[in-house]
């Protein structure tokens, strides 16, 4: 159980660090508007993650109560989806695109709403949670709904710490990213290893 949760924390950390729309948005808002605005965005994003966690927790649990064989199909789908994500990362450019130009000034409330809607209205997040979380269910004694919530809260906590660091160190992070030619390549392959590794665990 402990090993599974440690693996989940490691995988979540890699994903949170990897440059993507969410953390790049937090970074640009922190630099242009200030740290407080970066954190407002983060709170919105993390609240959205809680919504997705609930959808996955109750949806998957209900599915398994109907037929446990469907759970295997779900995990197989998850593994295939994770391999697909690894392929997309493999085909992507290693350059990290970062710009603070044309970043509009917004209030903290507006940024919270923006972060929340960015997350909740993205169906890919639900699919990712479905594929990712189901690989890390860690107990036969604890109810599945509770396990999903535990994983969701760990995901939110780890992401909040890393995103918070990005918000606090916005200027330094952006300077570092722009001056490290190989960082994109390192992060790219770290993502590929995590996605493929998790997928192989279930397939094997």
Average pLDDT for 84-108:
74
**Number of domains within the chain:** 1
Average pLDDT for 165-181:
73
Q: Is residue 19 part of a domain?
A: yes
Q: Is residue 187 part of a domain?
A: yes
Q: What is the pLDDT of residue 96?
A: 59
Q: Which residue has the higher pLDDT, 181 or 128?
A: 128
Q: Is residue 57 part of a domain?
A: yes
Q: Is residue 9 part of a domain?
A: yes
Q: Is residue 101 part of a domain?
A: no
The percentage of the chain sitting over the pLDDT mark of 70, rounded to a whole number, equals 87
Which of 51-65, 78-92, 138-152, 168-182 bottoms out in mean pLDDT, i.e. has the lowest? 168-182
Nearest residue to 80 (alpha-carbon basis) of 29, 134, 43, 116: 134
Which of 83-92, 109-118, 160-169, 176-185 bottoms out in mean pLDDT, i.e. has the lowest? 176-185
Q: What is the pLDDT of residue 115?
A: 93
Average pLDDT, the chain: 83
Instruction: Judge whether residue 140 has pLDDT over 70.
Output: yes
Q: Is residue 82 part of a domain?
A: yes
Q: Which residue has the tokens 């954190």?
A: 39
Q: Which residue range is the domain that position 118 belongs to?
A: 2-94+107-203
Contact between 74 and 66 (Cβ < 8 Å): no
Instruction: Judge whether residue 98 has pLDDT over 70.
Output: no
pTM score, whole prediction: 0.82
Residue range 10-27, pLDDT digits in tens: 889 988 888 777 888 888
The percentage of the chain sitting over the pLDDT mark of 90, rounded to a whole number, equals 25
Q: Is residue 157 part of a domain?
A: yes
Q: What is the pLDDT of residue 158?
A: 96
Q: What is the pLDDT of residue 127?
A: 81
Which of 57-71, 149-163, 187-201 bottoms out in mean pLDDT, i.e. has the lowest? 57-71
Average pLDDT for 60-74:
74
Q: Is residue 88 part of a domain?
A: yes
């Amino acid at each position: 159980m402990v090993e599974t949760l440690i693996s989940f924390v490691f995988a979540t950390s890699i994903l949170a660090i990897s440059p993507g729309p969410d953390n790049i948005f937090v970074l640009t808002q922190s630099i242009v508007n200030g740290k407080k605005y970066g954190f407002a965005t983060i709170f919105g994003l993390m609240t959205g993650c809680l919504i997705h966690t609930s959808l996955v927790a109750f949806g998957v649990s209900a599915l398994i109560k109907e037929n446990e064989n469907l759970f295997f199909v779900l995990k197989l789908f998850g593994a295939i989806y994770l391999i697909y994500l690894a392929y997309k990362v493999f085909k992507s450019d290693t350059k990290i695109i970062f710009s603070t130009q044309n970043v509009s000034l917004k209030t903290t409330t507006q940024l919270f709403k923006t972060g929340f809607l960015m997350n909740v209205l993205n169906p890919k997040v639900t699919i990712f949670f479905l594929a990712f979380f189901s690989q890390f269910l860690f107990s036969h004694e604890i109810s599945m709904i509770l396990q999903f919530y535990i994983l969701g809260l760990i995901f939110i906590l780890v992401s909040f710490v890393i995103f918070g660091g990005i918000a606090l160190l916005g200027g330094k992070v952006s300077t570092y990213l722009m001056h490290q030619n190989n960082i994109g390549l390192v992060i790219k392959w770290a993502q590929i290893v995590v996605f493929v590794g998790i997928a192989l665990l279930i397939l094997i």
